[in-house]
A and B are shown apart, each in its own frame.
Chain A
Amino acid sequence: MNTFSDSAVTAFYLITTLDPGLWSIAGRSLGVSATACLLGCVLGIGLGAYLAVSRFPARPMVLTLLNTFLALPSVVVGLVIYLLLSRTGPLGFLGWLFSFKAMVLAQLVLVIPVAAALTRQVVEDVDVAHGEQWRSLGAGNLVRGALLAWNERFALLTVVVACFGRAISEVGAVMIVGGNIEGFTRVMTTAIALETSKGDLPLALGLGLVLLIIVGCLNVLLTLFRNWQVRYQSSKPSSLRGWVA
């Protein structure tokens, strides 16, 4: 019990004193995960929307592979990216190992299957119900996938949240490819792992609480934004008319 109360006090202390070490780590965590999430969602949502509306012989195999990648262990991803980026690896010339970019790349690999698989499900449901109307209007697979994904943008916000959660909470991949270098590649999860191994459990748990609070705040913001959009869209003329109209 002491550990929990100590960690709560530690978390409170770290937040209220604006501990520079903590905010530097938290900022780096957010930076890496937000970048990976953004890139992963662009690529994954695009891929998922295309898979949702297209039909080709290898599609069942691709979908099985995609669903399998949902359970991709982050340490395995870290190891593969490490081998690719290491000096003797095929991407060694980039010099990305133990850098921000390497961590983003590792998280990107973890996020893309999540974004693609969830988007595929959301868009395919709409395509099965209404896709033929858009085909009848002349929309090919790419355009139809893009239109239906855009139409389901509120549902896809949940996908973005899930992707961000997957990125910011993983530790294995960023530990391997980032190296947990203080002030350079240390992020929240690797810091928690380090403090735990050093036996400083209150600090580790405190960092965990801070991480949880950050993710919680982001989720609340996204939910508020989505609710506002849904309410605004249903009560006012289209707010996105500038995009399409």
Chain B
Amino acid sequence: MKPLIALKHVSLKLGHVQALHDVSMTIHAGEQVALIGANGSGKSTLLRVLNGLHPITEGELQLAQCRQAMLFQRPHMLRTSSLSNVALGLWLDRSLGLRWHQAKARALAALSVVGLSGVTMQNAATLSGGQQQRLALARAWAKQPELLFLDEPTASLDPPAKREIEALVQEMIAPNDKPSPMTLVFASHNLGQVKRWASRVIYIEQGRILADLPTEDFFNPVCLAQHSHPAFLFLQGETA
């Protein structure tokens, strides 16, 4: 089966910093891939490369034609209504080819899915952090993406908001507990979240992939120690 994403010996320099070193990986449709590693390891940079936000300086990136959406740690909302923010996200995606009224209709449905129907006309910039993240999720969900990137989507949220976002993402990747055709690639420091969402875990350190294992193998200390000692040490430190 042809992979959805294929990276071959990709390197990326951001200014004087070598952010990614010789990264090679493939992701197939329907996979849920977690990127983990310490701060500054290159998780977010890799996500941005996959989303086309950083042009690579070396190597090859092959990305199958598909609808993509990305959720950031701190979503940016324009000072206008929640509805407009979601509709604008749809309208800007030329591949969807939606007219403004069509985008608004779809945005309304998306707001209802994330439980924000009550704030449709409220200025999005005045919503709480959790609500803004739900709004960003609505903006992503409305595009019906085949490939969803999440960059630490719950890192800046309090526990209740975190639970809400997790439940919504869970519903997106496995609606009614059935497997979804959506491919998920996410960066996270939350190992519980990684266990819940991921089918595969990639450990990154200083821009290099040092472990790439199915989730159950990654969280099996014996298996992980055999496969990648740095990843084992990282996990020991995180779970200590």
Interface residues, chain A, with chain B CB atoms under 8 Å away: 126, 129-130, 132-139, 143, 147, 150-151, 153, 233-238, 240-241, 243-245
B79 and A138 within 8 A (CB) = no
- A-B pair count, CB < 8 Å, reads 77
B121 and A241 within 8 A (CB) = yes
A244 and B81 within 8 A (CB) = yes
Question: Is B89 interfacial (CB-CB < 8 Å)?
Answer: yes
**Per-residue 0/1 for B195-236: is the Cβ within 8 Å of any A Cβ (1 yes, 0 no)?**
000000000000000000000000000000000000000000
B121 touches which of A143, A151, A238 (Cβ 8 Å): A238
Residues on A with beta carbons closer than 8 Å to the beta carbon of B16: none
B123 and A233 within 8 A (CB) = yes
Q: Quick one: given A233-B123, A237-B123, are A132 and B53 in contact (CB under 8 Å)?
A: yes
Centre residue among A133, A135, A147, A150 by max chain B CB count within 10 A: A133
Least Cβ–Cβ distance between A60 and chain B, in angstroms = 15
A147 and B84 within 8 A (CB) = no
A241 and B92 within 8 A (CB) = no
**Per-residue 0/1 for B80-114: is the Cβ within 8 Å of any A Cβ (1 yes, 0 no)?**
11011001110011110000000010000000000
Q: Quick one: given A132-B48, A135-B53, A234-B123, are A241 and B76 in contact (CB under 8 Å)?
A: no
Least Cβ–Cβ distance between B139 and chain A, in angstroms = 7
Q: In the complex, A150→B79 CA distance in Å?
A: 9
Provide a sorted-by-A list of 19 A–B residue pairs whose CB atoms are within 8 angstroms: A129-B76, A130-B76, A132-B53, A134-B92, A137-B88, A137-B93, A138-B94, A153-B79, A233-B125, A233-B126, A236-B123, A238-B84, A241-B80, A241-B121, A243-B80, A244-B81, A245-B81, A245-B87, A245-B104
B78 and A133 within 8 A (CB) = no
A245 and B92 within 8 A (CB) = no
